[in-house]
Amino acid sequence: MKYLEERQELISYGKKMKEEGLAPGTSGNLSVFLKEENLVLISPSGIDYFDLREEDLVLIDLDGNVIEGDKKPSSEWFLHTSFYKNRDDIFAIVHTHSMYCACLAAMRMPILAVHYVLADANTNRVPCAPYERYGSKSLAKKAVETCGESKGVLLANHGLVTLGEDLKSAFNLAKTLEYVAEIQVRTMAIGRPFVLNKKEMDQVIDAFKGYGQK
Ligand SMILES: [Zn+2]
């Protein structure tokens, strides 16, 4: 079986996604892009992450043809491949139905810079793509269009998509955006939160580039 390490990583982040409450039921899916072969390793449709075995992950090409695996790929495979086709800076995608992101998506509101950590998404607002049925090609098209240069996009009345250079950063961004969305929803319940402007957020985005251990 090819890509054993990537398979184990996908299973481990799938479990984390459940444990952190980011994806109720069998919702939520994730993938990594294998650039050497132009293939995508993606979670299968409708299997609980705690029952998932390495061989259940599905290796597909960018047109959705199954290259390896006997399971059906996630119903959102077209959403994943559309991002990989349109963005050369991302190699992993996490899709969640987390509560506060889903609340804002139901309001069809962007996630605003109510906390500076939103800068992790490389934007000062995470936009919300117009409603389209889950799993549809039009959903994928609108999500990619709406996302622009951001690393996250909400899907109206549905959930969140995050993009990363690797699975860890895409997963961490899904957690961060849920945190910011929660602040936004809670502060909006008591009034009108102050929102950081583009200049303030650009300063944070710049500062983040040099943040952490070298
Ligand atoms: Zn979904």
Global confidence as pTM: 0.96
Q: 74 alpha carbon to ligand 1 midpoint, in Å?
A: 10
Average pLDDT over residues 171-197: 98
Backbone angles phi, psi at 73, to 5 degrees: -65, 160
Using a CB cutoff of 5 Å, list residues around ligand 1, an ion.
159
Q: 199 alpha carbon to ligand 1 midpoint, in Å?
A: 33
Q: 194 alpha carbon to ligand 1 midpoint, in Å?
A: 30
Point out the catalytic residue in the list 5, 6, 37, 76. 76
**At CA 86, angle to CA 123 and CA 21, rounded to 5?**
55
Distances, alpha carbon 92 to alpha carbons 122, 148, 165, in Å:
16, 16, 6
Active site residue 19: no
CA-closest candidate to residue 109, choices 171, 170, 160 = 160
Task: Give the pLDDT score at 145.
Answer: 98
Instruction: Decide if pLDDT at 214 tops 80.
Output: no
Give per-residue pLDDT as tens, 63-94: 999 999 999 999 999 999 999 999 999 999 99
Average pLDDT over residues 181-188: 98
Q: 97 alpha carbon to ligand 1 midpoint, in Å?
A: 6
Instruction: Decide if pLDDT at 175 tops 90.
Output: yes
Task: Give the pLDDT score at 24.
Answer: 87
Q: 76 alpha carbon to ligand 1 midpoint, in Å?
A: 7
Give per-residue pLDDT as tens, 89-105: 999 999 999 999 999 99
